[in-house]
Structure 1
Amino acid sequence: MINCIIIDDEPLAAALLEKHISKIDRLQLAGKAENAMDAYQLLQTKSVDLMFLDIQMPHLSGIDFLKSLSQKPATIFTTAYRDFALDGFELEAVDYLLKPITFERFFKSVERILRHKTDIKEDFMMLKTEGMTRKVPIREILYFESQGNDIKTVLLSNESIVSKVKMTDLESLLSGKGFVRIHRSFMINAQYVTAFNNSEIVLGAYHIPVGRSYKSEFDAFVKAVNKGSVNQ
């Protein structure tokens, strides 16, 4: 599956994109945002492979927003104006779609990603443990736990890998990839959260405490989750 988000302040345009996305089995809508700040929060709490990004938005344009990201998902610009095409391609956008976007044109754009998987690279981490270096897909990581001078990496398979790495380095490496620091000792993969309250977050069988000093990160996570909920 290719996780995608829609960033557009025009409700009708966003609804049309959502309809197009629903017609392609390999695309999964991970969330929607109406401005750059909400989009940034989505990127902090979701694993995002592809962005459908409007150019003209309030406060910060789509072009400036993309320029601000250190880790850039594959991006398809959407706009009602031709004038920004050169800027879009200079930022190595996958495509540049003019509104109103027909499904035929949408599919042609997305097909480039569906056909060429290298357009969306699978991210890996190299973890040194017990004299070996392990290549671990980021999507298989459930959470990280600090244990003294070591970090325990817990995988979806329930396997644990203990390695010498700093939590601050992990935060920098995984910025924009859906991981959230919620405690001095814990950083989680937000896409696997199954429940939460003010004091803990649940990832399947694991209960992770929320630290008081990480309340702002936790609040951003909750806001993003509630924004995408059908029970608002």
Structure 2
Amino acid sequence: MIHCIIVDDEPLAAALLEKHISRIDHLKLAGKAENAMDAYQLLQTRPVDLMFLDIQMPHLTGIEFLKSLNQKPPTIFTTAYRDFAIEGFELEAVDYLLKPITFERFFKSVERVLRNRKDTTEDFIIFKTEGMNRKVLMEEIVYFESQGNDIKMILVSGESIVSKRTLTDMDSVLSGKGFVRIHRSFMINSSFVTGFNHHEVLLGSYQIPVGRSYKSEFEAFITVISKGSIHQ
């Protein structure tokens, strides 16, 4: 399954893309944004495998936005203008679609993404623990907890793994991959969120507190959930 987002300030263009996405079984819409700032929040709060990005948007163009990202998801530019094609491909965009976008052209572009994904390896991290290098799939990690100079990660299986890493280290590695730092001692995988308020987040049976100094990150996280981006 490819989780994708639409970044476009034109409602009709966004609606057409959403319709195209709904016709392909391997695509799932993870959220929509009308500008670069909302798109940035989406990228910070859940994994995004593919971004459909308009170029002409208020305040910050799609090209400027993509240039600003340290972790760039595979991106398909969508625009009514041919003038930006060269610059778009210089940013290693998957494709450059001219509006109005037909389903046939859309499908051809997505097929390229599907083909590339078949050639990639699993998304995982290597942790050194008890003298052994352990491969852990990121989709299996429910949350991280700081324990002095170590971190403990809780997996979806219920297993816990302790490693000589720090949350700051994990924050830099996992930025833009759906993990959110909500406390000095905790980082969560937003895919497992089942409930929240302004003081804690529920990850199934796990209750994780929200730290005061992480209120801004948490507010951005809540904003995206409120828009239906996580539980669509």
In structure 2, distance between residues paired with 1:20 and 1:119: 24
User: Contact conserved, 2:140 with 2:155, CA < 8 A, in 1?
Assistant: yes
Q: Secondary structure at the match of 2:187?
A: strand
User: Contact conserved, 1:113 with 1:119, CA < 8 A, in 2?
Assistant: no
Matched, 1:157 2:160: no
Match of 2:26 in 1: 26
Displacement of 1:120 in angstroms is 6.3
Match of 1:228 in 2: 228
> Structure 2 counterpart of 1:88, which letter?
G
Match of 1:58 in 2: 58
Match of 1:10 in 2: 10
Give the count of matched residue pairs: 231
> Structure 2 counterpart of 1:101, which letter?
I
Q: Which whole-Å deviations, capped at 9, do the CAs of 1:179-226 have from their partners, x for residues lacking one?
A: 111011000011221100111101111111111111111100001111
RMSD (Å) for aligned C-alpha atoms: 1.6
User: Contact conserved, 1:32 with 1:228, CA < 8 A, in 2?
Assistant: no
Match of 1:178 in 2: 178
> Structure 2 counterpart of 1:3, which letter?
H
Q: Secondary structure at the match of 1:25?
A: coil
User: Contact conserved, 1:49 with 1:120, CA < 8 A, in 2?
Assistant: no
Match of 1:89 in 2: 89
> Structure 1 counterpart of 2:59, which letter?
H
Match of 1:141 in 2: 141
Matched, 1:200 2:200: yes
Q: Which runs of 5+ in 2 are unaligned?
A: none
Match of 1:69 in 2: 69
In structure 1, distance between residues paired with 2:230 and 2:138: 28
In structure 2, distance between residues paired with 1:119 and 1:59: 37
Match of 2:40 in 1: 40
In structure 2, distance between residues paired with 1:191 and 1:31: 13
In structure 2, distance between residues paired with 1:37 and 1:153: 30
Q: Secondary structure at the match of 2:177?
A: coil
| Identity %, equivalent residues | 76
Q: Which runs of 5+ in 1 are unaligned?
A: none
Query: Displaced runs of 4+ in structure 1, greater than 2 A?
Result: 118-123, 228-231
User: Contact conserved, 1:74 with 1:119, CA < 8 A, in 2?
Assistant: no
